[in-house]
Amino acid sequence: MPKCSQCGKAAMFEVGGHALCLGCKAKVDQMWQAELAANVGALNFALGMAEAQVGLPGMFPRFSVPHPTIQQGPVSVNNITVSDSVVGAINTGQVRQIELAMDRIAQGGDQELALSIKEFAEAVLEEKQLETQKKDEILQYLSFITAQCASTKLARKPSIAHVVLDRVGQVVETAKDLAPLWMPLLLKLKTFFQ
């Protein structure tokens, strides 16, 4: 059995002419992921700069930044999953803005709220009864609401938030499958904006 060139354990992989064990291969993968994430982050920053120059935030789609597989502590909420059939039709910039706000909500300690938003957003994206225009409308509302949740209490606009929540409810009524996810989220958000 070949041995890992780094630590001498049983090797399972070969990387760059080196036999590596499971643990050492995982370290190599982590370094690659970090490098990829840095490159993708730089690309997203360039897109953001381009948008800022023309005054149209969220215009370009973003590369999804790979999250390292080994992660300690409550750092990131998973990205909103968008299936290929939907991805061309919806405003991915909007989705990205929701994700950023979700991360901030989770980092602020409200993981449960962030998770509920993620589940609802995914259900909206995959909902078959909703026209694309309605999906986009809900995403716009969610983008506003999540940004509000991620803001400081002083910067929030609870009156507007309540109007927006009511409007989401009206659109959700046209797609009955969404109601079971929306109702608990609505309760959480109403409490949040009290």
* List of residues contacting Zn ion (CB under 5 A): 4, 6-7, 9, 21, 24
Q: Both ends of the chain: CA-CA distance in Å?
A: 65
Residues 6+ apart with CB under 8 A from 14: 20
Say how far apart CA 174 and CA 44 lie, in whole Å: 35
Q: Which residue has the tokens 């509302």?
A: 141
| 21 vs 150, beta carbon nearer Zn ion | 21
Smallest gap from Cβ 175 to Zn ion, in A, equals: 52
Cα torsion 180, 186, 191, 192: sign: positive
Q: 99 with 147: CB under 8 angstroms?
A: no
| 8 vs 180, beta carbon nearer Zn ion | 8
| 26 vs 90, beta carbon nearer Zn ion | 26
Q: 98 with 140: CB under 8 angstroms?
A: no
| 6 vs 44, beta carbon nearer Zn ion | 6
